[in-house]
Structure 1
Amino acid sequence: MKYINLHKHYFKLFAFVFLAILFTNCNTKKFYKTNYAHSFIHVGSLVVDDALVNSFLTPYRSHIQKDLSKILAYNPQNLDKNDGKWQNKMTNFYADAILETATPVYSKQTGNSIDFCLLNYGGIRSTIAKGNITTRTAFDIMPFENNAVVLKVSGKVVWDLSNFIVKNKVAHPLSGIEIFVDKNSSTITHIKINNILVEKTKEYYLVTNDYLSKGGDNMQFLLNATENHSLNFKLRNMFIDYFTKIDTLNPSVKPRIIFE
């Protein structure tokens, strides 16, 4: 009888220890790093060039420099995206070039036509100085790997994007579209695409970049597109093609946002 009671005693003790260990292990443990080790490595003029590495890289470097320095066209004036509040020659050229280059590509791929273009002001990363336009120019103004995307959007989305631009007062590059604004109330009165009034129930084809097509720059309204078609064509390469095709850059001065 004593053996049985002793057995029960050890069983209870074992169960208690087991549950205590289980409970302890179930708690979430937090670990904090308290010590940091670092060292400073100075890279300067005392670092000796590696002749072997340089000899290997030289032909590639020369080839890249030759390609980037290739003259494609001529620009008779300085172009800066900051010249103007709502639009300027730089933003006009930026959107016009993409619309003109993308239209035949999209038509060949789908049989449809592009109606207008919207790009983002922040995507223009450089000015275009007066003088020769080279391949490097395209890399300067568009250093990112963005691809052109065509979205099928409703007229309501066109109104949403137009209100967004006017409200935020940002000169986003536009082409193929005209936004008419009441100069007293700063409200949009009507919108035209290819000189035809936009109807909210109709659908339009918009070329933009993949960043904006995903709602970038707070343009979430573009997520309401009913179709999303990538041209697999980088904007940078589109600019290179555009520069190659023309002789002299002559950007449009036609306003896209008109106050009446």
Structure 2
Amino acid sequence: MKNRFLILGLIVLSLSSCRTAMTVAKVSPEKNISIAKDLPEDPTFTQFIEPYKNELEGKMNTKISHTNVDLNKQGDNSNLGNLLADYTFEGADNWARKNGIPTGVDAAVINVGGIRSTIGKGDILTKHVYEVMPFENEVMIVKMKGSDLKGLYEYYAKTQKNNPVSRLYIETDNGMSVKELINGKEVDPAKTYYIATSDYLALGGDNMAFFGKGEMISTGIKLRDLFLEKFKENPEITIPKDVRLLFKNKKNKTDD
């Protein structure tokens, strides 16, 4: 009960401080209350949250898929990175075809820094996906001219960073772009392309300013929700093994 009064008091204090300036009339030292693990719990509060805690733990520990190998994000063609890039492509492509883009999307780009964990060999649980993608990022589709898409390839040539891609092939040599393919074909400067990515990257995150030349289309799909759905659809994970990023004579190691 004391804890409730304390919390209520803090809320009232914070609200009142937002409205008017407070004048300190008197300052007197009081005994500090140390927050430690041996501090007794409020049994009423513990009893109140117990069913919610149990329900949450049950959901987080639910098996949704399985992998026979460790899923990691190391290297220029990491298995987890490429897998999640493919899932991003598939989710965006499905949405596009149902929402006025009959040809679907052409490729997908995600950032390796947004993949916050790895998944070990064995059962994949719901909590693992939350650990991999703890953010509330949304799937975006960027409509771009082929001539503007040149900026994407220049970005990879300059950074040589292992940001995962799907349906793209990027080859560089000594920091110079030597081969640029989308769906196995050279980029047509006059053609319109649709690239799936996250809202973070679409808005220029990770220095991907080239997306700013395109038209952003919101899907309303959360990346984490999409990944959860795709893992559930694939009870046994098949690892992508194709080469998508090939940085020849790479000088600086930029892997995350």
Letter in 1 for 2:213: N
TM-score w.r.t. structure 2 length?
A: 0.80
The answer as to 2:206 corresponding to 1:239 is no
Letter in 1 for 2:246: I
Separation (CA, whole Å) in 1 of partners of 2:91 and 2:198:
13
Residue in 2 that maps onto 1:160? 151
Letter in 1 for 2:197: T
Residue in 1 that maps onto 2:239? 251
Determine which structure has more spread, i.e. the larger CA radius of gyration: 1
Letter in 1 for 2:96: Y
Residue in 2 that maps onto 1:94? 84
Unaligned runs of 5+ in 2: 1-27, 249-256
CA shift, 1:129, in A, is 0.6
2:202 to 199, 213, 217: 213
CA shift, 1:41, in A, is 5.1
Residue in 1 that maps onto 2:163? 172
Residue in 1 that maps onto 2:49? 57
SS of structure 2 residue aligned to 1:77:
coil
Letter in 2 for 1:230: S
Bigger Cα displacement from structure 2, 70-79 vs 104-113: 104-113
CA RMSD of aligned residues (A): 1.9
Letter in 1 for 2:141: V
CA shift, 1:42, in A, is 2.5
* Residues 78-117 of structure 1 aligned to structure 2 (within 5 Å): 78-82=70-74, 84=75, 86-112=76-102, 113-117=104-108
2:37 to 45, 48, 69: 45
8 Å contact 2:156–2:170 — kept in the other structure?
Answer: no
SS of structure 1 residue aligned to 2:139:
strand
Letter in 2 for 1:108: K
8 Å contact 1:139–1:236 — kept in the other structure?
Answer: yes
Unaligned runs of 5+ in 1: 1-36
Separation (CA, whole Å) in 2 of partners of 1:157 and 1:57:
53
8 Å contact 2:162–2:245 — kept in the other structure?
Answer: no
- Report sequence identity in percent: 29
8 Å contact 1:71–1:133 — kept in the other structure?
Answer: yes
